[in-house]
């Protein structure tokens, strides 16, 4: 276990990058070693030493001395000069495919928030259309990637060189379903339905025709039916076949947050106590998962927090359940999960800087 670590963040200008910066700047282990922020900047900004972080995200100005921090021009020489040990990439998938092998070759551990290295099965990765997939370099990198969900893989994350941070939808559904599937309670032949809804920030900062105000406001729409990129994560991490589950994402007219409603049928009648025990046993070492007893989770309960909230209702015959899973897509669905992975990699308390 190390006392502190020198981190770097590439992609601080995005929504998840902003949350990541906020968490790292206030992390108790990193007070003396603020992150290096690097990315693309123009010649004018390069001449003044970079872009002040407070200009990019005014809400972070003067937070633990951030007025002195700048977004600098990315270079491997900069990271070496600053002694960077852990690199966070909040970059497009294609950029991560290029930079991760280079970082690993330079001895830098990586937490990648993109989908570049999450999927082990070529059939699942095919949806991304990576041009380098199947190359020797890509294969060598993929074998080092650990799926960054501490609740499932904390022992492997602790020694990993490359952690592939999970998708936001995938996190909400995997955490809700994995305990029940592992306990062999679900009748998979009956099928599982995952009806998930996310705020607009899940689509990223770049505006599109479907995410600008005139389309998203006062609206609710399904999208990427049967084709969403997070589906492969569900199959691989829960241990399902494609015919076992239907996952449909929806766009909510709110800035952030995810609510996944999951419908399951059990092989045998269950009691509330049995289902509750399955969850509590599975998450007994997981400080960032909250199990609700009296009420079902709501998006507002987990907003701006690093928690995943799970609750359920059982039918009167005990054979069916509706599971509700909520999280903040920019936090447990992205930035706070990345920091949770950092904590595990460094041997720190898993919830440090997050509760």
Question: What would the pLDDT profile of 88-116 be if each residue is shown by its tens digit?
Answer: 999 999 999 999 999 999 999 999 999 99
pLDDT in tens, 224-254: 999 999 999 999 999 999 999 999 999 999 9
How far is CA 129 from its chain centroid? 21
Mean pLDDT value across the chain: 95
What pTM value is reported for the model? Answer: 0.96
What does the angle CA 320 – CA 322 – CA 327 come to, to the nearest 5 degrees?
155
CATH 3.30.360.10 range(s) for the chain read: 168-327
CATH 3.40.50.720 range(s) for the chain read: 7-165+334-346
Q: Which CATH superfamily is domain 7-165+334-346 in?
A: NAD(P)-binding Rossmann-like Domain (3.40.50.720)
The pLDDT value given to residue 151? 98
Place of tokens 């690097």: 38
The pLDDT value given to residue 287? 98
Provide long-range contacts, Cβ within 8 A and 24+ apart, for 239-244. Answer: 239/181, 240/181, 240/188, 240/192, 243/191, 244/188, 244/191, 244/192
Q: What topology does CATH give the domain 168-327?
A: Dihydrodipicolinate Reductase; domain 2 (3.30.360)
Place of tokens 């020489």: 77
Catalogue the active-site residues: 168
Contacts of 277 (CB under 8 A, 6+ apart): none
């Amino acid at each position: 276990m190390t006392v502190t670590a020198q981190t770097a963040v590439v992609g601080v200008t995005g929504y998840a990058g902003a949350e990541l910066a906020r968490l790292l700047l206030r992390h108790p282990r990193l007070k003396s070693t603020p992150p290096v922020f690097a990315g693309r900047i123009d010649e004018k900004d390069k001449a003044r030493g970079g872009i002040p972080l407070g200009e990019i995200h005014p809400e972070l100005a003067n937070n633990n001395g951030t007025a002195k921090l700048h977004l600098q021009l990315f270079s491997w020489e900069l990271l070496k000069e600053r002694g960077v040990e852990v690199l966070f990439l909040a970059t497009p998938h294609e950029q991560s495919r290029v930079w991760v092998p280079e970082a690993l070759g330079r001895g830098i551990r990586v937490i990648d928030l993109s989908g570049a290295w999450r999927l082990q099965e070529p059939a699942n990765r095919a949806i991304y259309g990576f041009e380098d997939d199947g190359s020797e370099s890509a294969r060598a990198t993929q074998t080092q990637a650990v799926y960054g969900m501490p609740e499932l893989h904390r022992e492997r994350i602790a020694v990993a060189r490359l952690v592939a941070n999970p998708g936001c939808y995938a996190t909400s559904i995997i955490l809700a379903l994995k305990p029940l599937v592992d306990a062999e309670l679900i009748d998979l032949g009956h099928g599982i339905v995952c009806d998930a809804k996310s705020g607009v920030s899940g689509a990223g900062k770049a505006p599109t025709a479907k995410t600008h105000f005139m389309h998203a406001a006062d609206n609710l729409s399904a999208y990427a039916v049967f084709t969403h990129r997070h589906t492969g994560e569900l199959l691989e991490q829960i241990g399902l076949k494609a015919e076992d589950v239907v996952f449909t994402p929806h766009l909510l007219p709110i800035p952030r947050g995810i609510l996944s409603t999951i419908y399951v049928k059990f092989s045998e009648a269950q009691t509330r106590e049995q289902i509750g025990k399955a969850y509590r046993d599975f998450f007994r070492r997981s400080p960032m998962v909250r199990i609700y007893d009296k009420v079902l989770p709501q998006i507002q309960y987990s907003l701006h927090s690093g928690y995943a909230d799970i609750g359920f209702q059982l039918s009167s015959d005990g054979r069916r359940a509706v599971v509700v899973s909520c999280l903040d897509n920019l936090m447990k669905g992205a930035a706070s999960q990345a920091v949770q992975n950092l904590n595990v990699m460094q041997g720190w308390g898993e919830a440090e800087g997050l509760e």
